[in-house]
Structure 1
Amino acid sequence: MATIFLVYNIARVGRRTHLTSLLLTGTAFSQFLTAIISLIMMLSSHEMRKIYFWTLGSFSAKSWDHVLSVLPYAVIGCALILMYCRDLDIIMLGDDSAIRFGVETEKVKRNLFFITALMMAACVSVSGIIGFVGLVAPPVVRLFTGPVHKKLLPASFLTGGIVLAVCDTVARSVINSEIPVGIVTALIGAPFFVYLLRSKRNEVM
């Protein structure tokens, strides 16, 4: 959470937090922390396999105890996020329009930023770093539910879980030895995300 706090405050310009600044600051901190993880891996050769699987994302050797340890963060976090559905719908009109409708855009963004960061930290502490699920699932769900967040968010939560379960099944069965599920999500998610970006660009053109 200390890292999240630093990223958010460094990315702020005046009273506003711009998306570009947030992404660039997050990328810089990500590279810095990746270097620290690499150093730990180098110094802890006897724990190399566990750390390696964690960096790639894996459910190997996980039990229901791990699920129960994350469950409160997931349930409470999802409930809090759903409380902001109306505000998110209005913010889609643009920050200036949302402010005219009485939405405190910076407060909403800040609260959601820290709520999702706490949820993500809890999940990553158990499963490791699993990428692309959160980037791919919502755009696909949006095609069926539309942009209304009251429908979009719950459907995205459910779809993300289903996608992850399918990828984990593939990771456990595609070869004799289990491979980290993060590899499967990256192999499937990265090309699909590029396809979505190209589709959006073609729509704009």
Structure 2
Amino acid sequence: MTRASPRHALVLGGATVLFLVALVAGTLVGPADLTPRGVLLELVGRLPFVHVDSGFSPRQQVILWEIRIPRVVLGGIVGAMLAIAGATYQGVFRNPLADPYLLGVSSGAGLGATLAIVVGGAMGSAMVPPAAFVGGMIAVMATYTLGRSVGGGRTEVVIILAGVAVAAFASAIQTFFMQRNDETLRQVYSWMLGRLTTSGWSEVLTVLPYVLVSVAVIALFRRTLDVMAVGDVEASTLGIAPARVRLVLISVATLGTAAVVSVSGLIGFVGIVIPHAVRMVIGPGHRLLLPLSLLVGASFLVLADIVARTAVSPAELPIGVVTAAIGAPFFLFVLRRSRGLI
């Protein structure tokens, strides 16, 4: 046991408590006419061998179990995946300013969603998630292929630059289709600003397998990420194949990111702010950075969604607007604090 272990255990425990508080708050708070007391009684009443009448009507029960709770769970999954993917990208590229959208995930997903809305007609809405998923994956494949082909000895730097180029190209095509089909602009922008609206548990069940696989593989490489922090040459001398590890981690992080983005739209700042803030507290070691980023990212997005649901009730703010309003000033703060380390 190291001297830092009690502090790390305390931080991990605090993050777990924050996560639980966020889940409870997200379940209790909302614009619908569900009293916190009634919600608690309804939750307790679903426990085995407990018989409690919440007094909720069938309509209120549907709102709680088929709309609010799935939305809270989806928010936790999306926030956790974006945060842990951000920590992974930052470790792979040895750049604390990297985030899940760096390799073109957002632009590729946005292009896919736009094409589904514009071309899909009446089926456009149903085709948005799969089209966004495919678009994000294709964009990252193009980025990685281009970066590897011209990378030379600076592969990680060239991959980032290739991501910028691919993102710009995808955005240009997206803008072209949007201008030629301006009747769909509102729907496209609604998706691009991010939202956690659900139609029950289907979105949660859709993205959960991808997220579980991504998180499991990333966790297996947590110590390898620490070794890669010293550089590719040094990592190679220790028996690690940096190019292979980089490909695996980029692939699985992008798989999870593309999956959650396909159902949530584009939600910025989670993947860059959360890992960076956690790193300031516990240091760069990925053994703690990854689980803490997962917990804090989930908590952050669930709490941000509470603001989105209630700030202008009965209307609703796009959650991307809330995360940007919170994340941008905080990012500037952490950037100033750590400017000597970047």
Deviation, structure 1 residue 158 = 1.3
| Structure-1 separation of matches of 2:152 and 2:305 | 42
**Residues 68-116 of structure 1, C-alpha deviations (whole Å, 9 max, x = no match):** 1000000111001111011101111222211111111111111101111
CA contact (8 A) 1:57 1:181 kept: yes
Aligned residues: 204
Cα distance change on mapping 1:96 and 1:3 into 2, 3 Å: same
Matches within 5 A, 1:1-205: 1-12=137-148, 13=150, 18-176=155-313, 177-202=315-340
**87-96 or 136-145, which deviates more:** 136-145
| Long gaps (5+) in structure 1 | none
Cα distance change on mapping 1:62 and 1:19 into 2, 3 Å: farther
Cα distance change on mapping 1:89 and 1:106 into 2, 3 Å: same
Classify the secondary structure of the residue corresponding to 2:223.
helix
**Residues 149-193 of structure 1, C-alpha deviations (whole Å, 9 max, x = no match):** 122111111111111111111111111311110111112212222
1:7 alignment partner AA: T
Cα distance change on mapping 1:139 and 1:57 into 2, 3 Å: same
RMSD: 2.0
Q: Which has the larger radius of gyration?
A: 2
Higher RCO structure, 1 or 2 (CA under 8 Å, sep 6+) = 2
TM-score, normalised to structure 1, is 0.90
| Structure-1 separation of matches of 2:278 and 2:262 | 27
CA contact (8 A) 1:11 1:17 kept: no
TM-score, normalised to structure 2, is 0.56
Identity of aligned residues (%): 40
Deviation, structure 1 residue 21 = 1.7
CA contact (8 A) 1:58 1:181 kept: yes
| Structure-1 separation of matches of 2:339 and 2:158 | 22
CA contact (8 A) 1:89 1:148 kept: yes
Deviation, structure 1 residue 203 = 5.8
